[in-house]
C-alpha cells in the first residue's frame, strides 16, 4: 500500500504543511505592531482558541511519539498517564487560570517574568533574571526535543530522507510562521493542530483495532510479550515500588508539572475574560482524555502486531526487541509506521500531519515564550524601554536564534522523546515555577525571598536528581519532578515565613 501510495502520502502531507503555514501568516495580518500583541495577542483569546491552543502546546511530540513508544515498551499500565495528566488540566483551568488572568492584567504583566517581578515590586531584577535563565534553559531543551521528534517522524515516513534533513525541515516550518506572527500565529496554528491531533487519535486507533479483529486480538497478542510487560491496568509493583510508580513520569507524577509551564500559563494571561477560563477548562479536559487514550492504544496495538508477526511491525522492531535490554525510544515511531503501512496515502499523510502538529504546536509556543524572556524581560524592560517598533525585530531575531540553537543540539538523533521532555524540559519548568505560581496566587504570605529560594531549589533539584541520582532512591524509581516540586514548595513556605514582604497583587477567589 505504501509503495503505490507514497506520492499521494507526500502530497497530502505537503498540503497540510502549506495550510498550517498559511494560517500562521494569515493570522499575523491581524497583529498590531506592539510587544503586547506579539506576546499576548492583545489579551483577546476566547475559550476555544485558548483551550485548544494551550492543550496542544502542552502535549507535544511526547504524545504522538513518546507516549506511543512508552505504551509499546511498558504495556497497559501506560493508561495511568490519563488521570495523571487530566488532574493537571483540571487544576490549571479551574484553580489558576482565572486568577492569573485577572492579576496579570491588573499588574500589566505580559510574560511570566513580568508577573513574578511586578507582583513583588522588584527594584533590582534578581527574580526577573532568574526566571529568564530558567525559561531559556528549559525551553531550549524542550524545543530541541520537538525538533528531534520531527526528524524521527520524517525519517520513519520517508526512509530516503535521513534524520538530519527531517529535523531541519520540521524546524524550518515552525520557525517560519512563528518568526512572522508571534503568539497570535502560534495560537491559531495550535488551534488547528489540536483539532487534527484529536481527530487522528480518535479515529485511527479505532480503525487499527477493528481491522485486526477487535480487542480479543489485542489481548491475545499482548499476552505473548515477555516478562516485564504489563497486561494489567493495575501495576504489579508493591510497597515502595508501587509508590514510585504512582508518582512516576508514567502515572500521577506528571501532573505536578502543569502549573509551571510558561507556554501554557501565557494562554491564561491572554484570555479575554475570566469566564473564558471555565469554558476552556471543560474543552481542554475532554480533548486531553481523547488524545491520551488514543496514543496509548496505538502503542499497544503496534506492540500486539509485532508480537503477532505482522510484516512491517516485525521488520521494524523484532530485532531491536531481541536485544538484552530494550533500547530507549523504541516504539516512538509506531503511529507513523502504522499509518504508513495500514491506510491509503492521503489518509496516511494526515496522520503524519497530526504527528507534526503535536510537535509544531509545542515548539512554536515555547519559542515565543523563550523569545519573550530575552526580548521583553531583558531587552525591553532593562535595556531599551522606549517601546519602539524595533522591539519586534529583536523579538523575531531571538525566536530565530533559539530555534537554530535547539536544532544544533539534536543533530544526533539518539534521544528518547518521552524521557528527554518529561525528565528535563517538563520537570525543570514544573518544579521551578509551579510551586511559586500556586503560592503567589493562593497564599497571601508568599514573599519575594520565598519565591527566589523556591525557584532556585526547584531548578537545581530537578536537574541534579536526574543527573546524579538518576531518579533512584534505594532501588526505587523516584521521578525528579514531584521530588523537586515538593522541595521547592517547602523552601518557599519556610523563606516566606522567615522573610515576609509586601505584595503588589492581592489573592483573589
Per-residue pLDDT tens over the stretch 321-336: 666 555 566 788 889 8
Residue 259 clears pLDDT 90, i.e. is over it: yes
User: How far, in Å, CA of 104 to CA of 159, rounded?
Assistant: 48
Listed ranges 178-192, 227-241, 272-286, 383-397; the one with the highest mean pLDDT:
272-286
Supply the pLDDT for residue 460.
Answer: 96
Which whole number is the average pLDDT over 454-459?
Answer: 97
Residue 217 pLDDT exceeds 70: yes
CB 163 within 8 A of CB 387: no
Q: Which residues contact 426 (CB under 8 A, 6 or more apart)?
A: 142, 254, 257, 261, 481
Contact assessment for residue 439 and residue 457, using Cβ atoms and an 8 Å cutoff: no
Rounded to 5 degrees, what are φ and ψ at 31? -75, 140
pLDDT band at residue 406 under the 50/70/90 scheme: confident
User: Among 238, 186, 173, 152, which residue's Cα sits nearest to residue 416?
Assistant: 152
pLDDT of residue 181: 60
Give the pLDDT score at 1: 44
Contact assessment for residue 254 and residue 481, using Cβ atoms and an 8 Å cutoff? yes
Lowest mean pLDDT segment, chosen from 254-263, 273-282, 309-318, 389-398:
389-398
pLDDT at residue 162 greater than cutoff 90: no
- Is the model's pLDDT at 14 over the cut of 80? no
CA 244 distance to own-chain centroid? 23
Q: Which range scores top for mean pLDDT: 63-72, 347-356, 358-367? A: 63-72
330 vs 297, higher pLDDT:
297
Higher pLDDT, 452 or 275: 452
For 255, the grid coordinates are: 501532573
The CA-atom distances, in angstroms, between 74 and each of 225, 243, 326 are 10, 17, 10
- Distance from C-alpha of 369 to C-alpha of 182, rounded to nearest angstrom: 9
Burial grade of 387 (CB within 10 A; 0-12, 13-18, 19 or more): exposed
Asked if 156 and 3 touch (Cβ cutoff 8 Å), the reply is no
**Secondary structure of 320-360 in the HEC alphabet?**
HHCCCCCCCCCCCCHHHHHHHHHCCHHHHHHHHHHHHHHHH
3-state secondary structure of 472: strand
Q: What percent of the chain has pLDDT over 90?
A: 31
Q: How many CB atoms lie within 10 A of CB 242?
A: 14
Dist CA 109 CA 116 (whole Å): 9
Tell me the sheet residues that pair with 75: 230
What DSSP designation does 248 have?
Answer: S
pLDDT greater than 50 at residue 2: no
Q: Answer yes or no: are the C-beta atoms of 8 and 349 closer than 8 Å.
A: yes
- Whether 472 shows a pLDDT value over 80: the answer reads no
CA-only gyration radius of the chain, Å: 22
**Model confidence band, residue 446 (pLDDT cutoffs 50, 70, 90):** very high
Asked if 118 and 107 touch (Cβ cutoff 8 Å), the reply is yes
Pairwise CA distance, residues 91 & 170, whole Å: 32
Q: What is the mean pLDDT of residues 249-256?
A: 78
Produce one character per residue of 317-341: b if its CB has 16 or more CB atoms within 10 Å, e if not. beeebeeeebeebbbbbbbbbbbbb
pLDDT band at 250 (very low <50, low <70, confident <90, very high): low
Instruction: For domain 2-498, give its CATH number from 3.30.56.10, 1.20.1730.10, 1.20.140.10, 1.10.1060.10.
Output: 1.20.1730.10
Block residue for cell numbers 494569515: 26
Three-state DSSP state, 214: coil
The reported pLDDT for the residue numbered 4 is 45
Q: Quick one: average pLDDT of 123-147?
A: 88
E-assigned strands of 261-410? none
CA distance 162 to 37: 38
Computed over every residue of the chain, the mean pLDDT equals 81
Residue 42, by phi and psi: left (phi above 0), alpha (psi -120 to 50) or beta? left
**Residues with Cβ < 8 Å from 70, sequence gap 6 or more?**
78, 81, 250, 296, 299, 331, 418
Amino acid at each position: 500500500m505504501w509503495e503505490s501510495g507514497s506520492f499521494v502520502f507526500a502530497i497530502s502531507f505537503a498540503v497540510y504543511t502549506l495550510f498550517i503555514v498559511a494560517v500562521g501568516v494569515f493570522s499575523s495580518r491581524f497583529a498590531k505592531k506592539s510587544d503586547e500583541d506579539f506576546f499576548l495577542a492583545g489579551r483577546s483569546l476566547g475559550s476555544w482558541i485558548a483551550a485548544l491552543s494551550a492543550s496542544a502546546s502542552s502535549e507535544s511530540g511526547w504524545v504522538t511519539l513518546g507516549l506511543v513508544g512508552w505504551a509499546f515498551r511498558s504495556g497497559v499500565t501506560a493508561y495511568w498517564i490519563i488521570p495523571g495528566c487530566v488532574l493537571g488540566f483540571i487544576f490549571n483551568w479551574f484553580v489558576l487560570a482565572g486568577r492569573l488572568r485577572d492579576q496579570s492584567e491588573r499588574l500589566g504583566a505580559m510574560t511570566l517574568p513580568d508577573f513574578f517581578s511586578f507582583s513583588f515590586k522588584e527594584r533590582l531584577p534578581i527574580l526577573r533574571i532568574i526566571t529568564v535563565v530558567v525559561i531559556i534553559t528549559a525551553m531550549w531543551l524542550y524545543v530541541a526535543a520537538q525538533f528531534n521528534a520531527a526528524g524521527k517522524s520524517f525519517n520513519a515516513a520517508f526512509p530516503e530522507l535521513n534524520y538530519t534533513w527531517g529535523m531541519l525541515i520540521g524546524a524550518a516550518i515552525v520557525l517560519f510562521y512563528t518568526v512572522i506572527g508571534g503568539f497570535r500565529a502560534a495560537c491559531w496554528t495550535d488551534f488547528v493542530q489540536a483539532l487534527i491531533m484529536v481527530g487522528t487519535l480518535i479515529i485511527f486507533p479505532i480503525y487499527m483495532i477493528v481491522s485486526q479483529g477487535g480487542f480479543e486480538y489485542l489481548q491475545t497478542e499482548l499476552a505473548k510479550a515477555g516478562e516485564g510487560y504489563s497486561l494489567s491496568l493495575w501495576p504489579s509493583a508493591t510497597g515502595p515500588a508501587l509508590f514510585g510508580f504512582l508518582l512516576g513520569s508514567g502515572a500521577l507524577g506528571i501532573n505536578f508539572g502543569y502549573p509551571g509551564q510558561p507556554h501554557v500559563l501565557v494562554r491564561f494571561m491572554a484570555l479575554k475574560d475570566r469566564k473564558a477560563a471555565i469554558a476552556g477548562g471543560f474543552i481542554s479536559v475532554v480533548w486531553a482524555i481523547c488524545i491520551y487514550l488514543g496514543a496509548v492504544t496505538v502503542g499497544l496495538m503496534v506492540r500486539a502486531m509485532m508480537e503477532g508477526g505482522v510484516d512491517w511491525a516485525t521488520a521494524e522492531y523484532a530485532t531491536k526487541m531481541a536485544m538484552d535490554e530494550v533500547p530507549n525510544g523504541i516504539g516512538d515511531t509506531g503511529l507513523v509506521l502504522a499509518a504508513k503501512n495500514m491506510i491509503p496515502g492521503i489518509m496516511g499523510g494526515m496522520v503524519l500531519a497530526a504527528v507534526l502538529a503535536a510537535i509544531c504546536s509545542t515548539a512554536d509556543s515555547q519559542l515565543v515564550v523563550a523569545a519573550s524572556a530575552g526580548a521583553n524581560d531583558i531587552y525591553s524592560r532593562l535595556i531599551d524601554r522606549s517601546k519602539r517598533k524595533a522591539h519586534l525585530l529583536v523579538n523575531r531575531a531571538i525566536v530565530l536564534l533559539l530555534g537554530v540553537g535547539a536544532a544544533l543540539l539534536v543533530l544526533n538523533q539518539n534521544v528518547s522523546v518521552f524521557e528527554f521532555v518529561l525528565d528535563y524540559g517538563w520537570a525543570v519548568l514544573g518544579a521551578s515555577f509551579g510551586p511559586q505560581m500556586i503560592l503567589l496566587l493562593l497564599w497571601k504570605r508568599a514573599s519575594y525571598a520565598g519565591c527566589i529560594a523556591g525557584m532556585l531549589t526547584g531548578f537545581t533539584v530537578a536537574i541534579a536528581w536526574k543527573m546524579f541520582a538518576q531518579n533512584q532512591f534505594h532501588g526505587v524509581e523516584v521521578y525528579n519532578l514531584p521530588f523537586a516540586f515538593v522541595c521547592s514548595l517547602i523552601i518557599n513556605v519556610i523563606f516566606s515565613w522567615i522573610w515576609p514582604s509586601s505584595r503588589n497583587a492581592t489573592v483573589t477567589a
